[in-house]
Amino acid sequence: MAKKLYIKTYGCQMNVYDSARMADVLAPLGYGPAETPAEADMVILNTCHIREKASEKVFSELGRLKVAREERRAAGGDMIIAVAGCVAQAEGAEILRRAPAVDIVLGPQTYHRLPEMVARASRAASRDAKGRGILDTEFPAESKFDHLPAPSETGAASAFLAIQEGCDKFCSFCVVPYTRGAEFSRPVAQIEAEARRLVASGAREITLLGQNVNAYHGQAPTGAPNGAEWGLARLVRHLAERVDGLLRIRYTTSHPRDMDDDLIAAHGELPQLMPFLHLPVQSASDRILEAMNRQHRIAHFHDIVGRLRATRPDIALSSDFIVGFPGEGEADFQQTMDLVEEIGFAQAFSFKYSARPGTPAALMENQVPEDVKDERLQRLQAVLNRQQTEFNRGMIGRVLPVLLEKPGKHPGQIVGRSPYLQAVHCQADAAEIGRVVDLRIDGIGHFSLSGTPVESSAHPEAAYPQEAVA
């Protein structure tokens, strides 16, 4: 009988990508998607450790799953419970100790080993003398990308493709170098093959993913000199040239240190590279950037933005900010506020600093009180929200090429994305999904725009033979 799998994903797009890969790995074992955890034969919590309370959320979810499993057992069924992702990597043994209901704990590097772990967990004798579940440290971690199956054909118009994983930057607040490990780049040929498969299954936009994506340095394809590596710009040019039907390329998340000249130039040259960049700055105070071990100064950030705008004048910027990093004084924070006013962001994410166990900043003595963090976050978010609204309002009356992605909530409604990553609603035929259409923007809501199709197709993407692609 077909079995059902429920994956609950927390955190970043890399986790969303990984969850899809875990589902692909388990499909040959007969697992199909479940609508709810209660009806699932296996539940995976794909966890995030980047900010506070993540592990507490996981433990309370595990409490609920234990009850759900007891109900299934009473009805003659069962449920395998697995915890994956960065909390699993950071606190694996602790999870098994505190939550004996858990059958499998696995970090991001061993997803391709899931079938073996599931086979073991299905045997009653799989637990150790203390009755604890399986920890993936018993399973050697090779490059998972060499072992994962090809992504299943979802038919989605916009898809993610992981090209890089891990990080060597060691920002003093961040757990990623510990949970995701050292920086690793997939070979160009592997990425190209995956991109082709995604486009063949309907993708028109691909977002290249990596924790530090612009540090990408992957093995060049055959034909290049032995041992040669390509950077992100070279990879993007290659995909833009070689993958027919790929209309849009994005990449995330970048580090200012790795925004090299070639990548900046690519933004001015490639119509497929969308005029939107998420470039976390964290703070605008050099003193705080130094304490964060960010390896860049604020003058460098201004320089990058200046050059990007010279190359691609309509580029829209997004960023991440942390307020209340240890030692941040009012003057430091004011520099961040000034930077925001000066640059102008189309959207941004901002967070209160949260001490992550095991990171250097967690041990710094000059921690900022919670109420000060709260107050700064409110001030920062007020400006960022205003800028986002202004940016969206500036679209009214303009014609934007929108990639139509999926049906909206209302009958006849389709939702797509502008080049600047704004969600745009319109009335259109479902057959239009997967096409880039010109919409005249005539309304803005809280988080989205609405538009009406116009006849002419003057945007560069229209030059691509959209129907010719399978």
Binding-site ranges for ligand 5AD (CB under 6 A): 50-51, 173-174, 280, 282, 320, 322, 351, 353-354, 356
Q: Which is nearer to ligand 5AD, 253 or 418 (CB)?
A: 253
Residue 255 in contact with ligand SF4, rule: CB under 6 A: yes
- CA-to-CA distance for 236 and 115, rounded, in angstroms? 34
- For residue 322, the partner it binds in ligand 5AD, ligand SF4, none, with Cβ less than 5 to 8 A by kind, is ligand 5AD
- For residue 217, the partner it binds in ligand SF4, ligand 5AD, none, with Cβ less than 5 to 8 A by kind, is none
At 52, the amino acid letter reads E
x/- letters, 211..250, toward ligand SF4 (CB under 6 A):
xx--------------------------------------
Q: Are 161 and 90 in contact (CB under 8 A)?
A: no
Q: In what order do the strands lie in the sheet with 158-162?
A: 158-162, 205-209, 248-252
The CA-atom distances, in angstroms, between 351 and each of 51, 320, 321, 386 are 9, 8, 6, 17
Q: Are 246 and 195 in contact (CB under 8 A)?
A: yes
Residue 341 CB neighbours (<10 A): 9
Report the nearest approach of ligand 5AD to the CB of residue 332 (Å): 15
Q: Are 49 and 55 in contact (CB under 8 A)?
A: yes
Q: Which is nearer to ligand SF4, 47 or 392 (CB)?
A: 47
Q: Are 398 and 441 in contact (CB under 8 A)?
A: yes
Q: How many residues bind ligand SF4 (CB under 6 A)?
A: 10
Report the nearest approach of ligand SF4 to the CB of residue 179 (Å): 10
Report the nearest approach of ligand SF4 to the CB of residue 166 (Å): 9
Q: Which is nearer to ligand SF4, 48 or 176 (CB)?
A: 176
Q: Which is nearer to ligand 5AD, 158 or 282 (CB)?
A: 282
Give me the residue label for tokens 């999904």: 433
- CA-to-CA distance for 7 and 46, rounded, in angstroms? 7
Residue 305 in contact with ligand SF4, rule: CB under 6 A: no
Report the nearest approach of ligand 5AD to the CB of residue 12 (Å): 7
Q: What is the torsional sign of CA 318, 324, 328, 330?
A: positive
Residues 167-206 that bind ligand SF4 (CB under 6 A): 167, 169-171, 174, 176-177
- CA-to-CA distance for 396 and 406, rounded, in angstroms? 22
- For residue 167, the partner it binds in ligand SF4, ligand 5AD, none, with Cβ less than 5 to 8 A by kind, is ligand SF4
Give me the residue label for tokens 């440290």: 137
Report the nearest approach of ligand SF4 to the CB of residue 267 (Å): 21
- CA-to-CA distance for 54 and 258, rounded, in angstroms? 29
Residues 41-100 that bind ligand SF4 (CB under 6 A): none
Report the nearest approach of ligand 5AD to the CB of residue 450 (Å): 30
Q: Which is nearer to ligand SF4, 175 or 239 (CB)?
A: 175
Q: Which is nearer to ligand SF4, 283 or 388 (CB)?
A: 283
- For residue 317, the partner it binds in ligand 5AD, ligand SF4, none, with Cβ less than 5 to 8 A by kind, is none
Give the burial string for 171-204 (b: 16+ CB within 10 Å, else e).
Answer: bbbbbbbbbbbebbbbbbebbbebbbbbbebbbb
Residues that bind ligand SF4 (CB under 6 A): 167, 169-171, 174, 176-177, 211-212, 255
